Amino acid sequence: MENGDHGARFPFPFKPYPIQERFMEALYAALEQRKVGIFESPTGTGKSLSLICGALTWLRDFEEKKREEAATLLHGQEEERGSSGATTEPDWVSEFVQKRAEREMVNKLKDEEMKRKRREERLEMIRHNAQLKYAMKRKSSEVNEVEKLLQLSKQELSSEEKSHEEEEEGLIVADYESDEEVTTKTRNCDDDDNDDDLEEEHITKIYYCSRTHSQLAQFVHEVQKSPYGSTVSLVNLGSRQNMCVNPDVARLGSLQLINDRCMELQKNKHDKQNKADLEPKRRRGVAKATCAFSGYEKLMAMRDEVLVKVRDIEQLLQHGRETHTCPYYSTRMAIPAAEVVVLPYQSLLHAATRKASGIKLKDQIVIIDEAHNLADTLTALHSAEVNGAQLCRAHSQLSQYCDRYRSRLKAKNLMYIKQILFVLEGLVRTLGGKVGLNPVTQSTQSGAELLTINDFLFRAQIDNINLFKVQKYFEKSMISRKLCGFVEKYEGKGVNTHSSSVNKENQRIEGLGRFLQSLQNKPAAPPEQQGAVEDRPSMASPMMLVESFLFALTNSNKDGRVVMDKQACLAQSSLKFLMLNAAVHFAQVVQECRAVIIAGGTMQPVADFKEQLLLSAGVSEERISEFSCGHVIPPENILPIVLCAGPSGQELEFTFQTRDTPRMMEETGRVLSNLCNVVPGGVVCFFPSYEYEKRILGHWESNGVLQRLAAKKKVFQEPKKASQVEQVLSEYSRCIQRCSSTGQGQSGALLFSVVGGKMSEGINFSDDLGRCIVMVGMPYPNIKSPELQEKMAYLDKNMPHVDGRSPGKTLVENLCMKAVNQSIGRAIRHRGDYACIVLCDRRYSRTGTLQKLPEWIRSSTHTHSSFGPAFASIRRKRICEVRH
């Protein structure tokens, strides 16, 4: 390969480290044996590159083996046909069944081989800029183009017989299709695509997902640099918020608003073409906007371009702007033929999002990177919250919708709408309010209450409603999105109204809109100005939040809880569904996939991870494989220290009772001051919470500790706004570089941060940016949190007690140590890096706590009961000998 082939078995851009070779061997074996693997490889060991080369090597070998087996089978079938004769009288029934099965198998193999060859030939032509001629049949009508686009996004609009007046107004009344109707429509759509040489069944592929778009972009860059960079077909998926190139839509900012506006533009184009097919009629009102970036031919062309060249999201956006084509839809069209699909957590772990994106996991490979918080991510994805103002607004919108279209709604539609209204009334009633009144003026009795799902349904008096059928109606009628269009139309957005009843509806909705804007501290435009704005984007539909909450209530009673949080007024009160059993939603992933690889830099502790997420999801112990490797740095490049006492002999134990004492805070200041005297470059100090950071820095400022620290190193503090993080890091870096080059005055910089904050994950404090990492105390979560208490109770009841230990208490300890491991892992980012890690709390010396540290840190950790020997060991280390 053009980028090098330095591995004996795995193509690699350079000679891999021994731990990288072991990593790839273990990965290859896990994929071959259909395992669920937990892989831990510290940052700086080339984890991403090892994942790429190991997984793609297996994929190429798998495809080659499959082709060889198919060729052997086809060859054997031809030989059998040539040698067959009527020498004996066979059992003709058994022979007929056997021959038919063989013929079907052979025909399937031939079909797959033909499609593969056509796909490869086509992509090779594109790579060489050959003239492309699409071989598939495409209807020239723009209506069918838009219908395919809507089908792709799983947002196909239901159609119903409408009068010419309805067509004039562009109304779509919610219709509840039967399963048979949906199947027929899907089959018809599939028939139109039979001649598309790339619209085939999904080939075996690797789904790679990570937490943030920056991490995904980094992975794509690693693929580009790998030996497979020029040959692999990679598709990069993202949300509309990250991939929209329509400036009028992208400027909305909010993900929900962008989603709503995008679907509205697609619907407008669909409606526009439907009207054009009718007899010419006098048009009323202004023309509705459509998206100029979603032409079907252009999307197909960009789909092909996506498959032949590896691009990150920024490069996709640039290509989309240059070609005036939507990257969001074109990348989704490329999924079936892609070998690697790169996507964020949400798109893969949430079933509805996975279905909408066209992702099929059957017999595929899934790699989940940065998976240390996988359980928390699954919990957050499947939790839901809705407040009183949103419930009241949803009820108001749906009531007006029902009143206006009552005569046009089918009986079944009307029944479900009435049920949803009844459910909304019950939800508002549980918060102590009443629909139809202003939620701001309705006062409620403050307090929080936690209920099981069944108890909540009884409390809301909606236990007689079949929420599964209601959920099915939501999905098929798309009533949540249609309410967006309904509000858009009757808020006076470029549509002339001719009846007093419509004007009254406008006035009511405008008042509600102004009220909601006042809650968000956003000034509302006057009615006359609102009517003058054409194509103003609609507000996010509160019914979508209600839909998510009702969907959450369909979980098993033992798997979730409902938190009722009542505030002073109904508008601020809320209902929150808390998911307790994340495994129930992860089960489908591990059951459908051929193999699942869960990787991270610091996966410790993994015991509860296995128990709560894998074994509870039905994964057998035999299917789980674990791999953990050390770091590439030599042992002398890291010095982890557990510090049990400060310079004055004060014992360091930051419990809730002792951490706020002046003596403890002053002793912490002395520890930090001594470290800043001997450590060059950057020192990063992590506090357990923002509240404690504020308290201790205030104390240090009052007694002069902060001034002494600032004399040795310039002090920086983690910003409150995420948008300011880059600026603070840039100034921090420049200060260290300036101090290193001058060698006079201050010796570097000191950065105060918070565990679990903006700088505890995903930030690179390599080299001089992080020569010393200080962890003040142990960042235990708030044990008084109702959500955490309920989670602990659930684990104590449903999980095994290992060695007599409570699973709930173990959860608290593991949450603490996972946060610690992420924070201290910000340093030591490459082979030549070195740093000191100081854990300031004697509780870190406990055997059980030390076992939860990553092995490559734990093996070098030294515990010091007094400050003197610890400080001496730091001074002797390399970090204090060389000043860069």
In tens, the pLDDT along 778-833 reads: 999 988 888 888 899 988 888 888 777 888 898 899 899 988 988 888 777 777 77
136 has pLDDT over 70: no
Residue appearing with tokens 């499959």: 66
Q: What mean pLDDT do residues 119-142 have?
A: 51
Distance of alpha carbon 742 from alpha carbon 737, whole angstroms: 9
Distance of alpha carbon 531 from alpha carbon 491, whole angstroms: 8
Give per-residue pLDDT as tens, 187-198: 343 344 444 444
Distance of alpha carbon 698 from alpha carbon 662, whole angstroms: 11
Q: Average pLDDT of the chain? A: 78
Percent of the chain at pLDDT exceeding 70: 75
Neighbours of 786 (CB within 10 A): 16
Pick from 193-197, 589-593, 849-853: least confident: 193-197
Per the model's pLDDT, the better-predicted residue between 508 and 380 turns out to be 380
pLDDT of residue 123: 63
309 has pLDDT over 70: yes
How many angstroms from the chain centroid is the CA of residue 328? 16
* Token pair belonging to 481: 């999105």
Pick from 136-150, 609-623, 726-740: least confident: 136-150
583 has pLDDT over 70: yes
Pick from 284-298, 591-605, 669-683, 708-722: least confident: 284-298
Sheet holding 624-628, edge to edge: 234-236, 340-344, 206-210, 365-368, 595-600, 36-40, 624-628
Q: Which long-range contacts (CB under 8 A, 24 or more apart) does 586-592 make?
A: 586/349, 586/378, 586/613, 586/617, 587/617, 587/618, 588/351, 588/361, 589/348, 589/349, 589/361, 589/366, 590/36, 590/614, 590/617, 590/618, 590/619, 591/617, 591/618, 592/361, 592/362, 592/363, 592/364
Quote the DSSP letter at residue 768.
G
Distance of alpha carbon 732 from alpha carbon 715, whole angstroms: 9
Highest mean pLDDT among 20-24, 288-292, 513-517: 20-24
Over the Cα atoms of the chain, what is R_g?
A: 31
CA distances from 528 to 253, 493, 556 (A): 25, 11, 50
- One-letter amino acid at 725 equals V
Helix/strand/coil for 405: helix
pLDDT of residue 513: 46
Give per-residue pLDDT as tens, 383-430: 999 998 899 999 998 998 888 888 888 889 899 999 999 999 999 999
Pick from 97-101, 128-132, 492-496: least confident: 492-496
How many angstroms from the chain centroid is the CA of residue 777? 31
Length of the chain, please? 884
Neighbours of 375 (CB within 10 A): 19
Residues 6+ apart with CB under 8 A from 398: 417, 420, 421, 424, 479, 483, 543
Handedness of CA 873, 878, 881, 884 (dihedral sign): negative
Give the H or E element holding residue 469: helix 467-477
Per the model's pLDDT, the better-predicted residue between 155 and 571 turns out to be 571
349 phi and psi, to 5 degrees? -85, -20
Give per-residue pLDDT as tens, 326-369: 999 899 988 888 899 999 888 888 888 888 888 889 889 999 98
CA distances from 657 to 660, 691, 781, 834 (A): 7, 15, 15, 35
pLDDT of residue 469: 93
Per the model's pLDDT, the better-predicted residue between 559 and 444 turns out to be 559
- Strand 206-210 and strand 365-368: the pairing is parallel
Pick from 36-45, 303-312, 650-659: least confident: 36-45
Q: Which long-range contacts (CB under 8 A, 24 or more apart) does 795-802 make?
A: 795/612, 798/558, 798/581, 799/611, 799/612, 799/616, 800/611, 802/607
- One-letter amino acid at 371 equals A
Q: What mean pLDDT do residues 641-656 have?
A: 91
* Token pair belonging to 35: 């395992």
Beta bridge partners of 681: 748
740 has pLDDT over 70: yes
378 phi and psi, to 5 degrees? -60, -40
CA distances from 79 to 73, 86, 90, 112, 391 (A): 10, 16, 19, 21, 70
Quote the DSSP letter at residue 348.
H
- Burial of residue 556 (CB within 10 Å: 0-12, 13-18, 19+) is exposed
